[in-house]
Structure formats: C-alpha cells, structure tokens
Structure 1
Amino acid sequence: MPDPAAAPLPAVEYGLTGVALKMGLTLAVLLGVIFAAFWLLKRYGPKIGLGPGGRGGSLRLMDHLPVGPKKSVVVVRFLNKDLVLGVTDHTITRLAEVDHAANADFADALAAKTVQPDDAP
C-alpha cells in the first residue's frame, strides 16, 4: 500500500520548444518508416509478385539498353513471345521476335532467329 504521506509526483509541463521537438521527432520517425517501407517494396516487391514487375501481367519489360541520347533497345515479354524493340523519340521498331522458352538462353534463341548478312539473298 502506498504511503499516504508521500507527495504526489509533479505534473510534467512541456514548453513550446519541448512540444515542437517531440512533434518533429515523431514526424522524422514516421517518415523514416515510410521511406524504409518504400525502399523494401521497390527492392523486394517484384520478387514476391508486387508492383509492375510482379506476377499477373501479360506485358513485362525484361531489359533495357540505352544506345544513344533518346535511343534504346528494349526486350519486352508479351504472352509467350520476347520482342526486341528499337525505341527512339518518334518511332518504335520491332527488331526481332522470339518464342519464349523457359529453359532456353535468350542470346542463343536470338542468334538462331537472326538473319546473318551472308545468308541474305
């Protein structure tokens, strides 16, 4: 049983500076949690099926290679085909189309489908 003669603890009063400091610290912690969650989702989301690179979509960007200012080569998987596209400011050109095989190496499949200059008529 508490001693009735003991004085009650004094109430803690925060000044304006203490309240602002506490609010700022709380905001910093909250923003840190939000940024950490964003980073984790960006880093590990596609691996577990979240986000645009995750499961479920029929169109996926597989790779991107810049070859000049505003020019690039991209590999896009659509349904069961890998499309190699040349992308510039004004046009998108299909460079190659390869059936996607889960166990085949993309470079080997592309080389088999590519017409060599000495094979051309």
Structure 2
Amino acid sequence: MPPASDYGLAGAALHMGLALLVILALIFAAYWVLRRFGPKLGLGPAGRGGMLRIMSHLSLGPRKSIIVVRFLNGKSEPKDLVLGVTDHSITLLTEDDAPHDTAAATDFAAALADKTSRPGGDAAS
C-alpha cells in the first residue's frame, strides 16, 4: 500500500470530503439529541424553570403584537399577563389568574357548545 502522500490531489480532496461528512454527521446527531432529550434535561425554552413563559402571541401588524405571558411566582399563584408590545413600549393590558390545571381548561368553542346545547334556557342566564 503506497503512503498517503502518493494519492495526489484527488486523494487529499476525497479524504477532506469524508472528514467533512463525518463532522456534519456529528453536528446533526448532537442537534437531534438536544431536540429529543433537551427539555427533559432542562435545556432549551421548554425545559427552563424560569419565571416567565410566553403562552400565546398575536401579531397585529409590523412590529406590533399582543403577547400572553405566564408569570410564575413561587410565593403566589401564577398569573397570565396580557401585554401590548410595540417598537417603543410594552404595555400591560390586563392581568388574570392562571388556571391551576391547564389540561382541565376547556376552549371557548367547547364552552359555548356546552352552554347552548343545554335544555331549559340556560344559555340566557
């Protein structure tokens, strides 16, 4: 077998290309592992135990939006803050207590269907 220097320019290019493919495969494998197991290990936005979490975002126009932020305070109940955000300011629009069990919270359409389908005129009250 000839030494590596005898392969010439094509051999060196092939060697570099294979090394690049191995490095790219390692980067993609690391990305997949972090996406898959990162939140369980406390890495990334979903796994952080921070005080603020963005629950919802509604864009109203260029650089103008309404954001619902959950404020997690260890001393009291969590609160949902509705903020108006522009380029120059952030304004508190309203504040509400966050539901204790988000799985038990129903959406608006289900609550409306429940109220309108009850017999006995419950919808008017």
TM-score of the aligned structures, taking structure 1 as reference length: 0.64
SS at structure 1 position matched to 2:53: strand
Match of 2:117 in 1: none
Q: 2:22 pairs with 29, 35, 39, which one?
A: 29
Normalized per residue, the structure richer in helix is 2
Match of 1:49 in 2: 42
Instruction: Verify: 1:99 aligned to 2:101, yes or no.
Output: no
Residue ranges of structure 2 left out of the alignment (5+ in a row): 73-77, 109-125
Seen in structure 2, the aligned counterparts of structure 1 residues 53 and 95 have a Cα distance that, compared at 3 Å, is: same
Q: Provide the rounded CA distance (Å) in 2 between the counterparts of 1:91 and 1:85.
A: 10
Task: State the 1:60 CA deviation.
Answer: 1.4
TM-score of the aligned structures, taking structure 2 as reference length: 0.62
Residue ranges of structure 1 left out of the alignment (5+ in a row): 1-9, 109-121
Q: How many residues in Structure 1 have an aligned counterpart in Structure 2?
A: 99
Seen in structure 2, the aligned counterparts of structure 1 residues 106 and 92 have a Cα distance that, compared at 3 Å, is: farther
Seen in structure 2, the aligned counterparts of structure 1 residues 65 and 46 have a Cα distance that, compared at 3 Å, is: farther
Question: Which protein has the larger Cα radius of gyration, Structure 1 or Structure 2?
Answer: 1
Match of 2:84 in 1: 86
Q: Identity of paired residues, percent?
A: 60
Q: 2:51 pairs with 58, 73, 76, which one?
A: 58
Residue 45 of structure 2 aligns with an amino acid whose one-letter code is: P
